[in-house]
């Protein structure tokens, strides 16, 4: 069922620790007021939503809900990995009186945001302007490694959700081969996510580089590695961050040619915005383009870093507008 131009929509971005909710009018274009909720404060997502609506709706019940969740979605349902919540749109719809509830993967939602992001929301990282109407790819190192691609054909949009982070990590040179061999002894299969492009991946890179170089280093998590790399206080940390950026460029380039993402490639997630200047000065872009005979193809594809903190709500609203009657 569609909604009128003044109908309210419930938008939510739900993680393992925190959930963010907002009520937006269907014709609203400006900023929205976001309500922050701790997942631990509510036994179920239904109770959390009911509490938000009781406090925020003013008696004007929204008829639609679009929920982004940090986990895999099957049949409009997600069992959260790091919280007891189960987000089931087909149960929430009648229980809370919605006409429709859509449950989307969080990176699918980021993909939906891409056409609406403004220059102030992005930092350019090289390349041309991109081709209008061509696929837009977003990759995101964070707790894991998210990948989604927004495709538009004949006025219809589709966000392709992937598990590309679990594909095998590629090596571009002998040093990376040695790092991967070290990680293989520890992990078995070395995925893009666990081997490099996530918080735990950054830590694994750091430990592997120390091992192959025969250097004793203190235990550091991803935040400490990044901090010591940027301060210049630890050569292994700096080498780790340099390799992280180079691998990110190679993987992003691989995915760009896989999806034909000539509209542009976007970097999101919680890690990279912390060192955007370091990334811009790194081998990221050179490795992105280093695809042999397809170098010219990659050279024209823009790469941009998403710096807008609430891009997920832009994507939620874009999806809601696109799917309304």
Residues tagged in the binding site annotation for ATP: 12-17
Query: What's the distance, Cα to Cα, between the start and end of the chain in Å?
Result: 7
Binding residues, as ranges, are 12-17
| Spatial contact of 83 and 47, defined as CB atoms under 8 Å apart | no
Under 8 Å between Cβ of 268 and 304:
no
CB 33 within 8 A of CB 22: yes
Beta pairing partners, 13: 20, 68
Q: What is the DSSP string of 10-28?
A: EEEEE-SSEEEEEEEETT-
Distances (CA, A) of 224 to 206, 221, 240, 278: 11, 5, 12, 16
Whole-number Å distance between alpha carbons of 110 and 172: 29
């Amino acid at each position: 069922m569609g909604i009128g131009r003044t109908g309210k929509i419930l938008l939510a971005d739900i993680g393992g620790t925190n959930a963010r909710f907002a009520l937006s009018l269907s014709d609203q274009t400006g900023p929205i007021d976001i309500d922050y909720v701790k997942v631990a404060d509510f036994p179920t997502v239904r109770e959390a939503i009911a509490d938000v609506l009781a406090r925020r709706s003013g008696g004007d019940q929204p008829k639609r809900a679009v929920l982004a969740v940090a986990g895999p979605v099957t049949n409009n349902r997600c069992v959260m990995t790091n919280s007891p919540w189960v987000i089931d749109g087909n149960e929430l719809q009648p229980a809370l009186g919605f006409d429709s509830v859509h449950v989307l993967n969080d990176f699918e939602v980021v993909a939906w945001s891409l056409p609406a992001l403004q220059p102030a929301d992005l930092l350019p990282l090289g390349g041309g302007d991109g081709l209008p109407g061509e696929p837009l790819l977003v990759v995101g190192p964070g707790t894991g490694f998210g990948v989604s691609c927004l495709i538009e054909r004949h006025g219809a949009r589709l966000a392709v959700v992937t598990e590309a982070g679990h594909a095998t990590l590629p090596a571009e040179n002998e040093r990376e081969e040695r790092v991967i061999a070290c990680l293989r002894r520890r992990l078995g299969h070395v995925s893009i996510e666990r081997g490099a492009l996530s918080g735990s991946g950054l830590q694994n890179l750091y430990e592997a580089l120390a091992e192959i170089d025969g250097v004793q280093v203190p235990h550091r998590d991803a935040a400490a590695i990044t901090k010591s790399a940027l301060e210049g206080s630890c050569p292994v940390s700096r080498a780790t961050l340099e390799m992280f950026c180079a691998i990110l460029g190679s993987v992003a380039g691989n995915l760009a040619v896989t999806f034909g993402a000539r509209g542009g490639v976007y970097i999101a997630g919680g890690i990279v915005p912390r060192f955007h200047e370091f990334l811009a000065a790194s081998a990221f872009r050179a490795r992105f383009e280093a695809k042999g005979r397809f170098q010219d193809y990659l050279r024209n594809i823009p790469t941009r870093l998403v710096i807008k903190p609430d891009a997920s709500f832009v994507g939620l609203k874009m999806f809601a507008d696109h799917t309304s009657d």
